């Protein structure tokens, strides 16, 4: 027999039936045992006790790995992105890049590189085509101009 849905917050007693915001996401129409305010208080307390707990839980749930393994990869990569070899400038942790068919972790990427290969559909043929395309352009000339302080707008195409 199914467990009855709670009707009041187990912490403060607030009526949970009055607001649909308390239903759990992912299409499941069940209700939490406590209101949003009490849930947030519980989460803050849990984060103070174990600040890495949420990150570890996310890695375990989404990728079947641990924070310990993530930190090992981070150390192996020298704390930088596996593609651009830079520290993530967005302020985020490096993303655990994974094969979406096997969920195998390939490495850790900065936000830009992770989005880039995702936008290129993680297809090596498309990525190689993009490389060849950029290699044919005046990329080197443009970079030389940037190094001497020429404004990037000068590098754009100009129509006569």
Do 6 and 16 touch, CB atoms closer than 8 A?
Answer: yes
Statement to judge: residues 58 and 112 lie in one domain: yes
pLDDT score for 2: 60
- Alpha-carbon Rg for the chain, nearest whole angstrom, is 24
Does residue 98 surpass a pLDDT of 50? yes
Statement to judge: residues 68 and 15 lie in one domain: no
Domain holding 69, by residue range, is 52-120
Q: Is residue 96 included in any domain, yes or no?
A: yes
Q: Which of 72, 82, 147, 76 is nearest to 116 (CA)?
A: 82
pLDDT score for 72: 95
Q: Which of 26, 31, 36, 38 is nearest to 4 (CA)?
A: 31
Number of domains in the chain: 2
Statement to judge: residues 82 and 40 lie in one domain: no
Statement to judge: residues 34 and 91 lie in one domain: no
Statement to judge: residues 29 and 56 lie in one domain: no
H or E stretch covering 96? strand 95-98
Statement to judge: residues 59 and 102 lie in one domain: yes
pLDDT digits (tens, 9 = 90+) for 66-80: 999 999 999 999 999
Q: Is residue 157 included in any domain, yes or no?
A: no
Summarize the confidence of residues 32-36 as an average pLDDT.
76
Statement to judge: residues 114 and 82 lie in one domain: yes
Does residue 6 surpass a pLDDT of 90? no
Question: Degrees (nearest 5) of the Cα angle 152, 128, 98?
Answer: 100
- What does pTM read for this prediction? 0.62
**What is the distance between the alpha carbons of residues 38 and 32, in angstroms, rounded to a whole number?**
11
Statement to judge: residues 86 and 72 lie in one domain: yes
* Residue found under tokens 């009055």: 18
CATH code for the domain of 102: 3.40.1800.10
Split at pLDDT 50, 70, 90, the class of 95 is very high
Summarize the confidence of residues 144-156 as an average pLDDT.
53
Statement to judge: residues 96 and 69 lie in one domain: yes
Statement to judge: residues 56 and 101 lie in one domain: yes
Percent pLDDT > 90 in the chain is 34
Split at pLDDT 50, 70, 90, the class of 102 is confident
Q: Is residue 36 included in any domain, yes or no?
A: yes
Q: Which of 96, 92, 100, 93 is nearest to 122 (CA)?
A: 100
Q: What is the mean pLDDT of the chain?
A: 80
Please give the residue that has the higher pLDDT: either 131 or 22.
131
Q: Is residue 152 included in any domain, yes or no?
A: no
Do 96 and 76 touch, CB atoms closer than 8 A?
Answer: no
* First CA to last CA distance, the chain: 77
Split at pLDDT 50, 70, 90, the class of 158 is very low
Q: Is residue 129 included in any domain, yes or no?
A: no
pLDDT score for 100: 83
Statement to judge: residues 66 and 115 lie in one domain: yes
Q: Is residue 128 included in any domain, yes or no?
A: no
pLDDT score for 97: 94
């Amino acid at each position: 027999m199914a467990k009855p849905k709670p009707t009041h917050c187990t912490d403060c007693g607030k009526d949970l039936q009055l607001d649909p915001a308390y239903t759990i996401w992912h299409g499941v129409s069940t209700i939490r045992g406590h209101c949003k305010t009490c849930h947030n208080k519980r989460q803050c307390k849990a984060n103070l006790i174990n600040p890495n707990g949420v990150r570890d839980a996310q890695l375990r749930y989404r990728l079947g790995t641990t924070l310990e393994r993530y930190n090992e990869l981070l150390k192996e990569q020298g704390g930088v992105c596996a593609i651009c070899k830079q520290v993530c400038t967005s302020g985020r942790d490096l993303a655990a890049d994974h094969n979406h068919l096997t969920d195998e972790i390939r490495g850790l990427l900065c936000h830009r590189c992770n989005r880039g290969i995702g936008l290129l559909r993680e297809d090596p043929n498309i990525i190689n085509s993009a490389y060849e395309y950029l290699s044919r352009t005046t990329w080197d000339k443009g970079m030389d101009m940037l190094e001497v302080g020429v404004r990037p707008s000068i590098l754009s195409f100009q129509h006569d």
